[in-house]
Chain A
Amino acid sequence: MKHKTNNHISKNDTKGQTMKGADVLVAALEKEGVDVVFAYPGGASMELHQALTKSQKIRTILPRFEQGGGFMAHGYARATGKPSVCMATSGPGATNLVTCIADAFMDSIPLVAITGQVYQQFIGKAAFQETDFFGMTLPIVKHSFLVLDKEELPKIVKEAFHIASTGRPGPVVIDIPKDVQQALFEPEFPDTIDIPGYKTDVTLPEATDEELLEVIKLIQDSKKPVLYTGGGIISAEAHLELREFAKLTGIPVASTLMGLGAFDSEDPQSLYWFGMHGTVAGNWAVCDCDLLLCLGARFDDRITGKIEKFATEAKIAHIDIDISEHNKNKIVDLPIHSDIKYAIRRLIELWKKNKFSQPDISEWSELIQKWKAEHPFSYEASEHITQQEAIETLYQETKGDAIISTGVGQHQMWAAQYFKFREPRTYISSLGLGTMGFGLPAAIGAKVAYPEKLVVNIDGDGCFLMNVQELATAKIEKINAKTIIMNNQHLGMVVQWEDLLYESVRGQTILCDKENIGGPDNLDAIYPDFVKISEGFGVKARRVSKREELRDAIQEMIAHDGPYVLEVIVPYTEHVLPMIKQGLSAKEILLKSPNSK
């Protein structure tokens, strides 16, 4: 039940009435337009929760584990692009957020993590539930604050949101000692921000016309160009510009997983995504191209394979807002420091103004179409439901109109292969850090942001168990997020590597009784019973193991008014293909898997 707010402050006020630091924080969050926080209380943060009960603008959602709350904030931020808030108490509450913060750092997600800290007089004294959270998170934040002076609290909140969401987005930590939360004072809410070392607000970096004309010249001279597009396109909300630029130039587009949906995967120019498990056509096109235009991506090892063998014949231009990404993993010919939205828009203007025509890349396009036709994502028919088939069926039943979150592993790759993402911010996945257990809380967060949209977590049985407690959050908070568990009773991706590299020796990759492994042919041995677990949480659930039940179950899941867990029993013997093994080049891509044991 929400109480009447006693600290209401309009947007233009700069001075507030006397109130507690905790109320100041809430007022400052309201000023930033925050409408939801994912917060787990404790001794050093309960003051903040008391203040939150008085807010009429902010919905406070209680996760059942701080990490769950952190990944709910991820789901919200990744689905909307807006900074999102998670909150925890000091000590263990805070340390449980560390993985979420590291994840936001890797994937450039605007996450604001607020933690309670012990009274300042106890800092450094190994007080109960004290950790140096500021120090602990230094290598994984874009920036962080320990609020030592209560008067600075409003300014710090404003700066934190600004830093998290501008430039290359990233996580910001605000650690607030309990005495600051309890102190009574008249807050002053600043209207402007002045951070001498961070001028992104005033001037986003912009490419010069000379640089962009050089890019155009490279395009004009190329016979085999490829656009390599990353998460930067989505962070900068530049997908419409990208689509226009691709049409204008006729260049094929290969995305990273972070960039999925920025370009329509069903467009003939789309190579969908490339990298370790990406399309053959995408990988070969990038490998053989003579011009690679990298837009907002970072030459990650899962994309490039062996870096020395990556796009060896190509001139490479790299446009990125983060200058430290230039020449980090791959030395490029033309590094351009720019806001990606500006750069693409200006490229389009320059192209039109000078009436450039498309380069003649007909031979290249034909070759690419041939590769696409010869090597689509494909899997062999099985007597059992396979993960690929389940995801394909989900795609058909949703007609692609859903936000998908995932855990990490085989199902994550198959989700990206068989669910065709056509719009940005619809594939919500922990890609840089690769955090198992991400899917369920992320789906809950995305669903909070978009209650009217269908949100489905495609998960594995290993991942699901890592944050299964968030079923309680979904149920109690009435957050209608769905989960499909691809239950193969194994840690499938590690099993796949064991098959390929370790002669199928299982090193703790079996999740059920090793002597009696569950599967489509041994249903009685399936462990644990996810349907019963879900029912224990009051969440409707269903298990399917037969093909003829699958479509009906997916329809039932979509139609159900409430959270839902659909457990699909699948064999563990399937491998994600194609695959470029570590240390190899795109040309050595594995198309067929040696049979696993």
Chain B
Amino acid sequence: MRHIISILVENKFGVLARIAGMFSGRGFNIETLNVGPMPDSKFSRITATIIGDSSALDQAIKQVSKLVNVLEVTEYSKGQATERELLMLKIKVEPKQRTEIVQICDIFRAKIIDVAAQSVNVEMTGNPNKIKAFLNLVEPYGVIEMARTGGVALKRG
């Protein structure tokens, strides 16, 4: 099962290593991982998506909460939070295919941020399903490079 875990931490040396170690040391694979500063720069928020058995993960989360630099751990199950990820792609595009790509991008509200003779760079945000659908459509053109931020999430309401 896929879990989104949001962790508020002190912005201290080694905190990411401690958290990553807590999951990896228990055999969890971190699917995505994102770290960003909070308005008060003493703190950061780490968002991780992890695939794994729920009860084992529950244990890992309790252990993470115990870490001295961790203030708060929240696990969002499906639907509890709004989730977004930023995707950047370099897609192989022949000049004659550009219009098609622009159309697909429009539908997904993706933006073309760089154009070259044989490729375009595209940015897009969305939840995991939208990103998957978009990738399915553009992959046949040829994805030269891809970078993803990993999901970030906020509780609804």
Interface residues of A (CB under 8 A from B): 134-135, 138-139, 142-144, 146, 148, 163, 195-198, 322-324, 326-328
Contact = CB atoms under 8 A, between A and B. Distances in A.
A8 to B, nearest CB: 31
A197 B71 contact: yes
Nearest to B9: A197
Given A142-B68, A197-B69, A324 B59 contact: yes
A134 B18 CA distance: 10
Given A139-B25, A197-B67, A146 B10 contact: no
Contacts of A142: 68
5 contacts: A138-B21, A144-B14, A197-B10, A323-B62, A327-B59
B65 interface: yes
B21 A197 contact: no
Given A197-B10, A324-B62, A143 B21 contact: no
Contact of B66 (A139, A322, A327): A322
B59 A146 contact: no
Name, among A148, A197, A324, A326, the residue most crowded by chain B CB atoms within 10 Å (CB to CB): A197
Interface of B: 9-10, 13-14, 17-18, 21, 25, 42-43, 55, 58-59, 62-63, 65-71
B56 to A, nearest CB: 10
Given A139-B25, A324-B59, A146 B13 contact: yes
Given A323-B62, A324-B59, A328-B59, A138 B14 contact: yes
Given A323-B65, A326-B62, 15 more contacts: A138-B18, A139-B25, A142-B68, A143-B69, A148-B13, A195-B10, A196-B71, A197-B10, A197-B67, A197-B69, A322-B66, A324-B62, A324-B65, A327-B58, A327-B59
Contacts of B65: 323-324
A496 B18 CA distance: 39
A143 B68 contact: yes
Query: Which applies to chain B's interface (DSSP): helix, strand, loop or mixed?
Result: mixed
Contact of A195 (B43, B58, B59, B68): B68
A134 B21 CA distance: 13
A293 B131 CA distance: 51
B37 to A, nearest CB: 15
Contacts of B13: 146, 148
User: When A and B form their complex, which 9 residue pairs have the shortest distance between CB atoms, in order from nearest?
Assistant: A324-B62, A143-B68, A197-B71, A198-B68, A197-B70, A324-B63, A138-B21, A197-B69, A196-B71
B59 A139 contact: no
A138 B66 CA distance: 14
Contacts of B55: 327
Nearest to B62: A324
A205 B43 CA distance: 24
Nearest to A143: B68
A204 to B, nearest CB: 14
A139 B68 contact: no
Nearest to A148: B13
A146 B14 contact: yes
B55 to A, nearest CB: 8
Nearest to B18: A138
B95 to A, nearest CB: 47
Given A322-B66, A324-B63, A324-B65, A138 B9 contact: no
Contacts of A196: 10, 42-43, 71
B18 to A, nearest CB: 6
Contacts of A146: 13-14
A139 B14 contact: no
Nearest to B55: A327
Name, among B14, B21, B58, B68, the residue most crowded by chain A CB atoms within 10 Å (CB to CB): B68
Contacts of B67: 143, 197
A81 B145 CA distance: 57
Contacts of A144: 14
Contact of B17 (A138, A324, A327): A138
A139 B58 CA distance: 18
A198 B59 CA distance: 19
Contacts of A324: 59, 62-63, 65-66
Nearest to A198: B68
A135 B15 CA distance: 11
A328 B43 CA distance: 30
A198 B70 CA distance: 8
A197 B63 CA distance: 13
A142 B67 CA distance: 7
A146 B13 CA distance: 8
Contacts of B21: 138-139
Contacts of B62: 323-324, 326
B69 to A, nearest CB: 5
Nearest to B42: A196
B63 to A, nearest CB: 5
A134 B9 contact: no
Contacts of B70: 197
B60 to A, nearest CB: 9
Name, among B9, B17, B66, the residue most crowded by chain A CB atoms within 10 Å (CB to CB): B66
